[in-house]
Chains A and B, each alone.
Chain A
Amino acid sequence: ETGVTQTPRHLVMGMTNKKSLKCEQHLGHNAMYWYKQSAKKPLELMFVYSLEERVENNSVPSRFSPECPNSSHLFLHLHTLQPEDSALYLCASSLRDGDYGYTFGSGTRLTVV
């Protein structure tokens, strides 16, 4: 275990479902990230929460909605997804300045049917 825990590990959902991905860290990090990893594509940064700042990739569709209730927990709420949203979703955390590397969770493998 890396210290960043993602649940669930696997998720299959229909296009009309609503689900949430969860990420938790107790490393004392103060920044958390969501990445999407699709085959043959670079990791795509979706959202960053750093202290009270939120940074988002403007190309991420609104059917993805992040929530960061505190510095240890991060959620990604999913609704009315499309098959092309099927991917590995990775959560990461770091100290805010990124100067000590990023710790990743094992990911949630999402399949949209």
Chain B
Amino acid sequence: SQQGEEDPQALSIQEGENATMNCSYKTSINNLQWYRQNSGRGLVHLILIRSNEREKHSGRLRVTLDTSKKSSSLLITASRAADTASYFCATVVSGRSGGSYIPTFGRGTSLIVHP
């Protein structure tokens, strides 16, 4: 069954503003990851946060994880037109009998940053 669900589905902001995207999930996870996808291309890994972590930073990105609420947020500060893309969260759970770790993606948030 689908794990991560991003919210909002679409977000339109002006350059310089902050963009916040949320991800909710249903079951316990091993870690949660955020990805970016430019139109028609592959996904690019942005940041990974483990289930025992609450916050991580990478450049202009800030990710939080609240395991009690089963939710995560991605904040992009001081957005740029080049940040225009779709953003996906992926929840990773361990497979049965300690097997493969399976990432499950949501539908994504489409972010448009106007110059």
Contacts and interface: CB of A to CB of B under 8 A. Distances in A.
B113 interface: no
A28 B90 CA distance: 22
A104 B48 contact: no
* SS of B interface (majority): strand
Interface residues of B, number: 27
A84 interface: no
Contacts of B104: 42, 45
A48 to B, nearest CB: 5
B102 interface: yes
B106 A42 contact: yes
B2 A101 contact: no
Interface in A36-62: 40-43, 45, 48, 50, 53, 55
Interface of A: 2, 4, 6, 31, 33, 35, 40-43, 45, 48, 50, 53, 55, 88, 90, 92, 94, 96-107, 109
